[in-house]
Each structure stands twice: as structure tokens, then as C-alpha cells.
């Protein structure tokens, strides 16, 4: 690991230069400080270069006889190998290209076997919490330690029919607290009780090496736009059996191998058994190429310097926030829990939305405010009513009252010290 206080330690992972000047209400302009990587990270320079180099050559995949179609088909199929190797998949695992993590988890929800039970912590991002609405879902209470998460899951699984299908869905790194969840232990608990597990790696994969085989998870989902690629492509990877046996997620061309009229006037369809079964329609070739390019860049650079640099930036933010007595950092597992570069906090007496708006208008800093698509978790952390059906961007807290929403700052490759220092100065 090279010196993490030197941004040059991430020289192999330059992001597309974002020297965007933004106006300040106080007059003048400043370089935009993008501190909302947890929503969408900037793309790597290499990803844009790869996409630009490929752009003149792209064609439709799978069906074209022409040279460019064949080239695109090869690149598209090779991208599966690249992503499988980035994720440490097992032999026989399928890599399905989707639009996003949300899409991946909805695909898996549509592929659950009949009678499947689902177990999910109430602390999940809505993309992990909500897709299972057609299954029998058990919502688990927020744990206060990683060990507590494992025992809570074990207790819930102990009561179920061990011969029926079941799925556990868990997030590897929280999009609210940045805290890492004990994925390996949760996978072991799931498997010990005959259940399977899917890992929502939307926040984990951009910050941390992941290995499906080592973690022993059955599926993994992530989004390109949080992993230094542009929008529009995501991945669901893992065990082939449930995916192969399920009805196609989308019905249409590409998913079907053979379609014929029946004597009775109807139509018979044979669907593909491969990942194509769930990828009907013309796929997002450029998006898939970009995601594979980002995976390659991260694999080649390795995560050691990225993790060390993020830890250094986390230290700067935490130390700065600790000097402001009105600031309360949100945490489920405690201050010392290992985390990625995602930190949420509230400021006593401040409405978080006004606070975030001031960071933008007066300092050119882009953060996020609200309940971060994890309403039950943020309400639990704020000590407000977790059953409150109030909306994102909750109403104003009067000075001295408890905030009803929070502010989130997040960063990664390409974040200069200056952005974080400006943020700390602004909060102070």
C-alpha cells in the first residue's frame, strides 16, 4: 500500500476529470465537490476511453451476421467472463446483465420457487427490502451488533420448515452508515438452515474486494453506476438452477430459443437455459462493455490502495465532525465498526435538507439528504418512529428538536483531500 494521504496512490484509477465550476450564492464560483458517490460515482477515465474506442464498432448482439455484430457479441459474452472473475464466481454460476441492483433483485424475486420464504432485515435499502412482495416475507428487527445480526437470522430460520425453499437477502455495506455486514457468517447461518442467500453488493463492490465463492453467497447484485461505470447496467450473478427453472423475467426475443404455432392455434415457446433467458430484448451493449471495463480496471489496480485511501478520508471526515458538538454520526454497530466511505449524520437544531442545501449553495459541495431509500433504518437510527409512514425529505425539525432526516457524505477514487477538507470546514 502506498501512502494513502497522497491522492497519487490511486493514480491507476483516475476518474473522469470533473473540474466543474459551480456558482455560489455568496458570489463567485468554486470547483464542485462531488461527495455523493453512494448515489452514483463518477466514471473512471479508462471506462470512458474504452467506450469511446468501441463506439464506432458497436452493433446488435447475438442476431447479426455482420462483422460488427459478431464483434459486439464476442465483447458482450466476454464481459460475462470479466464480471464473473471480478466477483470470484464459481464454475457454473450465471452472470445475467440487468439495468441495476434494483432490477437484479426484482429479477431474483420473480424467479423464486413456489412457496419460497424470504428473510430480510428491516435495515435494508428498499431495493433489497421490497422486491419480495409476492413471497412470504419475515422482516427481521435491526441488529445492534454484527453478531446480533447472525443470531437474529439463526433464530428466525430455526422456526421454518427446513425442506421448503427460503432466501435471505442482505446488504454487504450499508448505504446509510457505510458499515460492513457479516456476510460470510450470515451465509453460513442461511446454509445451515437450508436457505439460500443473495448479497446486495451495490455499496460493497465499489469499495471492497468481493468473492462469491469465498463469502459462499448464492447470488450477488450490483450496479455499474456506483462502480465507476455510467448508468444503465447492472448484474445478477450466481447459481443457475433457480434462474434456469424460472419463467423469463421479460418475455421476448433473445430469451426464446424456439417459438412455434400449435395445432390448436396457440403458441409454444422454448426458452433459453442460459443467462439469455432473463435478458430479452436488445441488450445495453455499451453499458455492459462499460461495466466490464470498470471491473477490469478495479481488478488490475487491486483494492488495497483504494481501501487504504478511503480509510484515510473516513478518518479526516470523522475527526472533523467530532469537533462539532452538534453533529451526531449515525451508526448501527458502533463507532469502531469497519465501514466504507459512506457517512450519515444529523446536526442538532438543523433541518438536514436545509443543511445539505447550504453545503451546495454556499460551498459547492454535493451531498445527499433524506432517508436514503432505507426509511425504517434511518428512522431507527434517528430514534423517530420506525412505523411512521412519512415521506422522504421529512418535515422540518424545530431548533433543538430531533431531526427527521439525515445528511450523507460519501466518496472514493478521485476524491481529493480538498473536497473533504472543504466539507469539514463548511460543517464547522
**Of residues 84, 92, 340, 81, the one with CA closest to residue 212:** 84
Cβ partners under 8 Å of residue 10, min gap 6: 301, 305, 306, 309, 413, 414
DSSP strand pairing (117-121 vs 166-171): parallel
Q: How far is the CB of 170 from ligand PMP (least distance, A)?
A: 10
Cα(354)–Cα(357) distance, integer angstroms: 5
Helices (H) and strands (E) in the chain, counts: 13, 17
Of 291 and 359, nearer to ligand PMP (C-beta) is 291
Residues 319, 170, 205: CA angle, nearest 5 degrees: 60
Asked if 373 is an active-site residue, the reply is: yes
Of 222 and 289, nearer to ligand PMP (C-beta) is 222
Of 9 and 169, nearer to ligand PMP (C-beta) is 169
User: 80, 278 in Cβ contact below 8 A?
Assistant: no
Q: How far is the CB of 222 from ligand PMP (least distance, A)?
A: 8
Q: Please give the residue ranges that form the binding site for ligand PMP (CB under 6 A).
A: 38, 100-102, 125, 127-128, 171, 175, 200, 202-203, 223, 373
Q: How far is the CB of 55 from ligand PMP (least distance, A)?
A: 23
Of 41 and 44, nearer to ligand PMP (C-beta) is 41
Q: 138-176 burial, b if ≥16 CB within 10 A, otherwise e?
A: bebebbeebeebbebbbebbeebeeeebbbbbbbbbbbb
Q: How far is the CB of 281 from ligand PMP (least distance, A)?
A: 18
Of 249 and 363, nearer to ligand PMP (C-beta) is 249
Of 225 and 422, nearer to ligand PMP (C-beta) is 225
For residue 1, list its beta bridge partners.
none
**Of residues 209, 211, 183, the one with CA closest to residue 90:** 211
Q: How far is the CB of 218 from ligand PMP (least distance, A)?
A: 17
Q: How far is the CB of 98 from ligand PMP (least distance, A)?
A: 9
Task: Select which of 169, 295, 373, 392 is catalytic.
Answer: 373
Cβ partners under 8 Å of residue 238, min gap 6: 89, 93, 94, 198, 212, 217, 218, 219, 220
DSSP strand pairing (136-140 vs 117-121): parallel
What are the catalytic residues?
373
Amino acid at each position: 500500500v502506498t501512502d494513502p494521504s497522497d491522492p497519487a496512490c490511486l493514480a491507476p484509477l483516475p476518474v473522469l476529470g470533473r473540474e466543474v465550476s459551480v456558482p455560489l450564492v455568496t458570489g463567485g464560483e468554486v470547483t464542485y465537490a462531488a461527495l455523493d458517490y453512494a448515489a452514483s460515482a463518477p466514471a473512471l477515465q479508462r471506462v470512458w476511453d474504452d467506450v469511446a474506442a468501441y463506439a464506432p464498432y458497436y452493433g446488435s448482439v447475438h442476431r447479426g451476421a455482420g462483422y460488427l455484430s459478431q464483434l459486439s457479441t464476442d465483447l458482450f459474452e466476454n464481459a460475462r467472463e470479466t464480471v464473473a472473475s471480478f466477483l470470484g464466481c464459481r464454475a457454473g454460476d450465471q452472470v445475467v446483465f440487468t439495468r441495476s441492483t434494483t432490477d437484479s433483485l426484482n429479477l431474483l424475486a420473480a424467479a423464486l420457487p413456489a412457496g419460497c420464504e424470504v428473510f430480510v432485515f428491516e435495515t435494508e435499502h428498499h431495493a433489497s427490502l421490497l422486491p419480495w412482495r409476492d413471497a412470504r416475507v419475515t422482516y427481521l428487527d435491526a441488529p445492534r451488533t454484527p453478531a446480533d445480526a447472525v443470531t437474529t437470522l439463526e433464530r428466525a430460520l430455526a422456526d421454518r420448515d427446513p425442506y421448503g425453499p427460503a432466501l435471505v437477502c442482505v446488504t454487504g455495506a450499508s448505504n446509510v452508515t457505510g458499515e460492513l455486514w457479516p456476510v460470510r457468517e450470515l451465509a453460513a447461518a442461511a446454509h445451515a438452515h437450508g436457505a439460500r442467500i443473495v448479497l446486495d453488493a451495490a455499496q460493497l463492490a465499489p469499495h471492497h474486494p468481493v468473492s462469491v465463492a469465498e463469502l459462499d453467497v448464492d447470488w450477488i447484485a450490483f450496479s455499474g453506476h456506483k462502480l465507476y461505470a455510467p448508468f444503465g447496467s447492472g448484474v445478477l450473478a450466481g447459481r443457475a438452477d433457480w434462474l434456469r427453472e424460472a419463467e423469463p423475467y421479460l418475455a421476448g426475443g433473445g430469451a426464446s430459443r424456439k417459438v412455434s404455432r400449435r395445432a390448436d392455434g396457440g403458441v409454444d415457446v422454448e426458452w433459453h437455459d442460459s443467462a439469455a433467458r432473463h435478458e430479452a430484448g436488445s441488450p445495453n451493449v455499451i453499458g455492459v462493455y462499460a461495466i466490464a471495463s470498470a471491473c477490469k480496471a478495479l481488478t488490475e489496480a487491486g483494492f488495497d490502495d483504494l481501501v487504504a485511501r478511503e480509510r484515510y478520508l473516513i478518518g479526516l471526515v470523522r475527526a472533523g465532525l467530532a469537533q462539532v458538538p452538534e453533529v451526531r454520526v449515525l451508526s448501527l454497530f458502533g463507532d469502531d465498526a469497519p465501514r466504507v466511505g459512506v457517512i450519515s449524520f444529523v446536526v442538532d437544531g438543523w433541518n438536514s435538507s436545509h443543511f445539505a442545501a447550504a453545503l451546495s449553495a454556499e460551498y459547492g459541495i454535493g451531498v445527499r439528504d433524506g432517508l436514503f431509500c432505507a426509511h425504517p433504518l434511518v428512522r431507527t437510527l434517528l430514534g423517530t418512529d420506525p412505523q411512521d409512514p412519512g415521506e422522504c425529505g421529512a418535515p422540518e425539525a424545530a431548533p433543538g428538536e430531533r431531526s427527521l432526516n439525515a445528511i450523507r457524505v460519501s466518496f472514493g477514487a478521485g476524491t481529493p483531500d480538498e473536497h473533504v477538507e472543504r466539507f469539514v470546514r463548511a460543517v464547522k
